[in-house]
Chains A and B, each alone.
Chain A
């Protein structure tokens, strides 16, 4: 039995390497959230479609993606995409999996944000003869944004915390590196604890940021200039 002994020298040795790997994690999160926002908007708009087939397919796609594990989706992409002639790097695979998965969650946020915009705004847009594109871009989405930002932020933090799963397809992000460092040195305590702490600090900072931003946003009287 090994006693509890925190090895500071080893901890200091792995910390800079972990912080380097953190950049990979952040990159995956950033690219993944950009894709998720695009996917989410697309799905939210498809669900509002007049054609029942389109809106139902969008609904069931969302339901399916949300109730199956991200890890299996990652494997699916990683194994099946090459069969379809798409050879992607682990990073690319991971970004697409994260984007698809959280796009499904974000679509619900966007949909409720869009539904929250008053009916009068739609009627006014019709009265002003705005095209559907301009109605969304200039009237609806800017107003929907206020309620969408905090909820989307929370999902992006959740995505950030799920990036360790990309280690399963050999992406050298923080957890994968910690695992390698651990097995090379037969010491798992320091690398895993440090990775946990890095996640804790970053996600707490991000959620505090969102809470502050939420307070900053005017609750009522949002005006369009």
Chain B
């Protein structure tokens, strides 16, 4: 099989991989902020609920979570297709790690900011979203970037529940053509480029979020 044909076959898989990343990323972000904020809530029940979610998803393997959602949930009458299972599992998994980033980011904002917001009679909601969060977000971006790359890497797991992503196609092509060096070499480069592109994008976003902010001297 000529390399161009291998490339075009892999391209189709790369598109599916990117689709899964694009669908799982919002879910992960949502879960990260929900659980991260819940863990800082004044209500003990909310804190506990979030802690259980986080510990559970961080304490077990992503692949086991994926299998559990794909094979076990149908037993409860919840039949979901492979793509949904993949997106849900990866989103929940990365979201659990992300919630720690959110929590750490919020805690790292100087206390004086909260005090100043109280002194200026901001409501709690405004205090969080208009004063604390914009400052915390800038610090959260680098670890979020790492998690986004972890997500891209983790999408390879969905190949094990029969989704024809990049890894799945590589494996079936390898079984078929035996040109294993080229195929897996190309796939590694594909993933590397995707991760680097994501990294560049997130760095640009970080720069924009930090615009006009006096970083490092907020005391």
Q: Which residues of A line the B interface, CB within 8 A?
A: 1-2, 4, 64, 66-73, 75-76, 79-80, 83, 161-165, 167-168, 175, 179, 182, 188-189, 192-193, 195-196, 199-200, 203-204
Contact = CB atoms under 8 A, between A and B. Distances in A.
Contacts of B152: 67, 69
B174 interface: yes
A73 B153 CA distance: 11
A204 B61 contact: no
Given A64-B188, A71-B159, A72-B191, A199 B153 contact: no
A186 to B, nearest CB: 10
Contacts of A72: 156, 167, 170, 184, 187-188, 191
A79 B153 CA distance: 19
B167 A161 contact: no
Contact of A71 (B55, B67, B167): B167
Contacts of B185: 76
Interface residues of A: mostly helix, strand, loop or mixed? helix
A72 B76 CA distance: 32
Interface in B118-169: 149, 152-157, 159-160, 167
Nearest to B191: A68
Interface residues of B: mostly helix, strand, loop or mixed? helix
B177 to A, nearest CB: 11
Given A4-B75, A67-B196, A161-B60, A175 B67 contact: yes
B170 A199 contact: no
Contacts of B216: none
B85 to A, nearest CB: 13
A68 B63 CA distance: 17
A164 B191 contact: no
B61 A75 contact: no
Interface of B: 55-56, 59-65, 67-68, 71-72, 75-77, 149, 152-157, 159-160, 167, 170-171, 174, 180-181, 184-185, 187-188, 191-192, 195-196, 199
Contacts of B156: 69-72
Contact of A196 (B55, B60, B167): B60
Contacts of B155: 69
A97 to B, nearest CB: 12
A200 B153 contact: no
Contacts of A79: 174, 180, 184
The 3 A-B residue pairs with the shortest CB-CB distance in the complex, in nearest-first order: A67-B195, A69-B156, A79-B180
